[in-house]
Amino acid sequence: MEIVSSNDLSRDLAKIKVPTLLLMGESGNLGYAASGNHALADEFLRRVPHAQLKLIPRASGTYCMLEAPEATTKAVIEFAATLR
């Protein structure tokens, strides 16, 4: 985490031009409810305004696809259905 936290890639976010889904678990150290993660997610959405955030219940961060595969699959299918 220390190595990753020292890299600022925020300038690269403007390069994202494709539809983007930000998946996050609701709880845990890397989840939306964890200290600072809410603000980071909001900053990502501000810098990538066409992105969508989907919080996955009963998941604790970035491994939501392993912790809650059904809910994650549903979120991805719903997102994909909005694409042209």
The two three-digit tokens of residue 6, written as one number: 């020292």
Cβ 57 vs Cβ 23: under 8 Å: no
Question: In this prediction, what percent of the chain has a pLDDT beyond 70?
Answer: 94
- Which pTM value belongs to this model? 0.80
Average pLDDT over residues 23-42: 88
Domain boundaries along the sequence of the chain:
17-81
49-81: per-residue pLDDT in tens? 999 999 999 888 778 888 999 999 999 999 999
